Amino acid sequence: MNDFHSTAFFVKHPFRIEDLKVPHRYEMRKRFAVVKTVELSKIDYDNFIADLYVDRTFIEENKGLCRIDEDGVWLCLLVKRRGQSDGVLVMPDGRDYPKYAAYYPGKEDEQ
């Protein structure tokens, strides 16, 4: 990953995807690595981004993969709509919903 895609601004307890697209200081960004990508149908993804504060089975099933490693890298899930390159980085921190989340704009080579 290049520098632009290896850091993200994580928001604590976001409600909607719009909460993730807020201005922020660059130094507030965290280094991340995607440990698993979850692809959802259009209707499921639209439901997910409209209400991020709801328990999700796919997060419950994969939350054990997520943590902050010894180097401070956030190991997180990437949740995206099937066929799309952008999505939401999810750090559940032991929860079944995104306790922390960040908008992921996608990679140039995925489009």
Q: pLDDT (tens digit, 9 = 90+) per residue, 29-77?
A: 999 999 999 999 999 999 999 999 999 999 999 999 999 999 999 999 9
Domain span including residue 50: 5-102
Number of domains in the chain: 1
Residue 75 lies in a domain: yes
Residue 107 covered by a domain: no
Q: Is residue 32 included in any domain, yes or no? A: yes
Res 27 pLDDT > 60: yes
Is residue 60 domain-resident? Answer: yes
Overall pTM surpassing 0.85 (yes/no): yes
What is the pairing mode between strands 74-81 and 67-68? antiparallel
Q: Compute the distance between CA of residue 6 and CA of residue 58 in angstroms, rounded to an integer.
A: 23
Residue 111 lies in a domain: no
Phi, psi of 78, deg, nearest 5: -110, 115
User: Distance between CA 101 and CA 20 in Å, rounded?
Assistant: 7
> Does residue 42 sit within a domain?
yes
